[in-house]
Amino acid sequence: MNKIRVALAAAVLFVTTTTAVQAQAPLKIGYTSVEYVLSQMPESKQIESDLKAYSGQLEAQLKSKYAEYQTKAKAYETGAATMPDPVKADKEKELTNLQQSIQEFQRSADQSLQQKQQTLLKPALDKLQKTIDAVADENGYTYILNSDGGGGSPVLLHGPKDGDVSDLILKKMGVTPGAAQAAPAKAAPVAPAATPAATPSKTKVKTKK
């Protein structure tokens, strides 16, 4: 199961201090793996299930469009030799439009899937942020960093084990650290059912590969 890469608003989760005593206290820095914590949260299974179902709906629509294209392309190829030129030109235009529609749907479906993922993740991320704030306040942490790779490399390159607050965050949410939970699936591009048959050369439209 692929681990999810969460694009947070900032690579460093900043926790502010509010009292003069806290402001004068020694700097204390902790870190956590957002990916690990999310994978342990009960919400992760539902997020994965919902994302998979949504992806399935988009793929079904895409397959339907491909089937329509292939049916009409086959009919064109079968009857092209006997078609009057105006009818032939009309059929070629229809096939070109269908092919462009499929390609546009593919692009919009990928964007829609990413947006759906963000929508599903938002409540879990909000809950995680509130819990991180609470853990930081209760344990005197001034900053908590995200140890996951963000932008190609993790924010935290080295840190002591006792600085890892991941388990504290999970316990604060009532989750047993290390419990077997599946991480939410990363939103993968909607895969086409098949490569559409090339439109007649007269249309000069290349098949998307």
> What is the structure's pLDDT at 162?
84
> What is the structure's pLDDT at 91?
93
Would you report the helix, strand and coil content of the chain in percent, each value rounded to 5?
A: 55, 10, 35
> What is the structure's pLDDT at 201?
44
CA 51 to CA 114: how far, in whole Å? 10
- Tell me what the mean pLDDT of segment 87-102 comes to: 95
Q: Which pair of tokens denotes residue 9?
A: 């608003």
Residues in the chain: 209
CA 129 to CA 19: how far, in whole Å? 21
CA 30 to CA 178: how far, in whole Å? 19
> What is the structure's pLDDT at 16?
38
Q: Which of 38, 53, 40, 42 is nearest to 5 (CA)?
A: 38
Which region among 55-64, 91-100, 102-111, 142-151 has the lowest average model confidence (pLDDT)? 142-151
> What is the structure's pLDDT at 153?
64
Work out the mean pLDDT of the chain and round it to a whole number. Answer: 79
pLDDT at 205 over 50: no
Residue 128 one-letter amino acid: L
C-alpha distances in Å from residue 78, one per residue of 66, 83, 97: 18, 10, 19
> What is the structure's pLDDT at 204?
38
Q: Do the Cβ atoms of 173 and 127 come closer than 8 Å?
A: yes
> What is the structure's pLDDT at 137?
92
> What is the structure's pLDDT at 131?
95
Would you call 65 helix, strand, or coil by DSSP?
A: helix
CA 5 to CA 185: how far, in whole Å? 9
- Tell me what the mean pLDDT of segment 171-197 comes to: 64
Tens digits of residue pLDDT in 148-165: 876 666 677 667 788 899
